[in-house]
Structure 1
């Protein structure tokens, strides 16, 4: 009679573990190891562990391969190890997940951010260290670091969308004028740099656009109103059928005439480029006698 041998529970458990180990692809083990290593590097360099865990959770929920996730986290880890800010690159990862962008398609974007971050930091530092800007920075007190982060992020938004660093620097130089700084909030300054890639290309290349943006900040535009400017000037250019230079001149004149920011934006969205001062006094310098400022083809009324 044959004897039937049965495995005890511990022996059966060990057998299952051995089978799993033997049949688990070595590549999967390697990918998990690489992901853990780069995650550990990121945390050791100063990135909050909960942010790395959140990235991994979002990636896992979307079925992103561990090797891709490791490659996504690596640029952030590299930046952190060099003492560079990582807010922007992590923010872009989370935006990508939210929009359903495949992990592999995010990697080139993250690589560009990694490459441009030192330049964004250098632009911010040079501007903040200017003698005319230093008093403004000191007046921010404990808000300096928050402003620094916002300005670096604004620089990065522009740089990663191929706005030349020279253009950003010219805008910063205009924003650094004492007359602008004394009437500016930190958020408005950062917003003024951040809108550059959103402006129509025809306008971004116009001489004087930097001064007009700075004048908008000086004229009391809030950060939210500045962020609406690209859409407004684009609408004005399209509806008025005027060249970019004329739209910029009209915007500059409206700011100079003391028209409130909200009204300027409405004028531009309506294609009314040459609106006059709030009083609309006939015969005022620049206004036709007995008429309303800004009247002409495509620019009737406020």
Structure 2
């Protein structure tokens, strides 16, 4: 059972590398074919996630739903206070060691080598397909499948897998390799929001906005990005104040507390459904089925105790 789950995860992860290679190969034929390459490259992992998600309601299953939407944005902005500091600190430390900021080097090269129309395209592609497909793949599927092992380990592992999928950072040499670290921190942030709320809309929004800021800087300058950052910082402080002083005053708070456990619970139930399916198909023995069934039931009971605060 565990081997089957790990096989699905590795298959989807491998499809991300293949999709990236396809996208960049098409783009190298002609830069004007970049939208086509991205469409083809991002379709591959999305198709596999759709194929491997057998439960009804694909989009709702991966976390694109109304339930948990408000808590999703609340925790997105609250955690922004922490991760914006961590990412900025990491960037400054790397710049101090290397004598240059890798992100600045990447932007400079893109500005020199790419035409204006590419930044127009990238402004839209930042959200679709990039943010949508990557979040569905790494949070909506991979992180969700890993949650039965525990949220922190699942978040760490899925974030590591996501950052390593950005192989094109290596094209910048040593400075580019350090960008894996900032990407890892960003994906930890997205993973925490998803694991806490089970909703993927807020991570998709922030992932897209993060990429979009590159085009924003190209057209309107660094000042526009700073204004955007200050606005997000303002929303983050408001969210923190709400969380500390107002959240929990309403009658719906009890339901909101359970939203953070939704993704883990669904992951465990989905594994139990697959376990029953494998038993019927004769893929596992009766003894192995009973053993694994007991393991997942125990995890569900542990989750229930955690939810009740006992």
> Shorter-chain TM-score: what band?
under 0.3
- Work out which of the two has the higher radius of gyration on C-alpha atoms and give 1 or 2: 1
TM-score, length-normalised on structure 2?
0.24
Higher RCO (CA 8 Å, separation ≥ 6 residues):
2
TM-score, length-normalised on structure 1?
0.24
Task: Considering fraction of residues, name the structure with more helix.
Answer: 2
